[in-house]
Amino acid sequence: MAKQTTTLHGVFMEVMGLGVLLSGVSGVGKSELALELLTRGHRLIADDAPIFSRLAEDVVEGVCPPPLHDFLEVRGLGVINVRAMYGDGAITDRAVLQLVVHLQWMRDDELVNLDRLRASKDDVRVLGVAVPRILLPVAAGRELAVLAEAAVRSHMLAVGGYDAAEDFTRRQQRYMS
């Protein structure tokens, strides 16, 4: 059986040990977010066109195409060599895709209408494997790196069985009783 592969648009990073694809339309700020995450100690795998392969029934791994190794294109700065700027520790060769953080422009009136207790999340299929996806609204003044790290931490807690919204709701119900 031939190995299934696909190339996706986005920046693939290792954030807190998890393979995280930053996705969104061109110009939404994926590379800028990646650069900020790099300065916070996270690692780049691939910018723009990571290649994903299905390794097992529920495992998809991402790597960087050889011509793009070490490089990140940032509007206004051009192409930067992440390894040269931040050292070998800022790059890793591969990771299992565990989360997609999808950046989406939102106006203030759209932000107001988001569910305030639960993240906007669903699953996206990559090579037939369901991968959790969290919508990260992009708007002026939002600290995307902090929000992306919080999204990853929240996902890690959810995988471990913890749901903050349920915990919060139960606590409020006990208080009102």
Would you please indicate which residues are annotated as catalytic (active-site) residues? 9, 30, 48, 116
Cβ–Cβ < 8 Å for 35, 49: no
11 Cβ contact list (under 8 Å, min separation 6): 21, 22, 30, 31, 33, 34, 44, 46, 47, 48, 50, 72
Distance CA 129, CA 152 (A): 19
Distance CA 52, CA 164 (A): 31
The bridge status of strand 10-15 relative to strand 5-7 is unpaired
Cβ–Cβ < 8 Å for 136, 147: yes
Of 156, 166, 114, which is closest to residue 135 (Cα–Cα)?
A: 114
Dihedral sign from CA coordinates of 75, 77, 79, 81: negative
Distance CA 13, CA 69 (A): 13
